[in-house]
A and B are shown apart, each in its own frame.
Chain A
Amino acid sequence: GQQLNQSPQSMFIQEGEDVSMNCTSSSIFNTWLWYKQDPGEGPVLLIALYKAGELTSNGRLTAQFGITRKDSFLNISASIPSDVGIYFCAGQETGRRALTFGSGTRLQVQP
């Protein structure tokens, strides 16, 4: 099935730094979603994007739905220790209700 390329695989940053991660696909997606997963928990939805070009914020998080509908990015500004976790992008293709997930970005924040 469709694969999403997510990068980077991991990041180790200092508290207060900004972070950026992105996902690309070879086909068009109708919806892009960004999730965070903490150890022992299921993924929690951070931001959902529904239109090409859409830019949406949720607190210190900002995500954009690429104009080509084949990519999306997530920015985290002024990182804090509780931002630690694994971030996944996910997309929904035309005619398919289930989500396809990226490989994840593991974020570590040094206090």
Chain B
Amino acid sequence: DAKTTQPPSMDCAEGRAANLPCNHSTISGNEYVYWYRQIHSQGPQYIIHGLKNNETNEMASLIITEDRKSSTLILPHATLRDTAVYYCIVRDTSGTYKYIFGTGTRLKVLA
């Protein structure tokens, strides 16, 4: 089972910040949090990852709480092309430490 929980869907107005929450209360001390997104019928695309500190890149910012039990992905100025399913992933720490994808959050950016 996925180690993360996310709201199933969110709407965001174009040009506004989209804040996508994720709970990962059972995360291990050294496990990264990864965010990917999947635009309809395409392969998932890496967005950002983090361990303890907040992170920012050209696509998004990642805010991780101090206890690391939750995080928020921020798209600062959402565009229509950001409409996608967003996955927050914490790896399974058994076996090959594989990704376990949950159902993600379906973000719809509205014009």
Whether chains A and B associate is no
* Residues in B lying within 8 Å of A, measured CB to CB: none
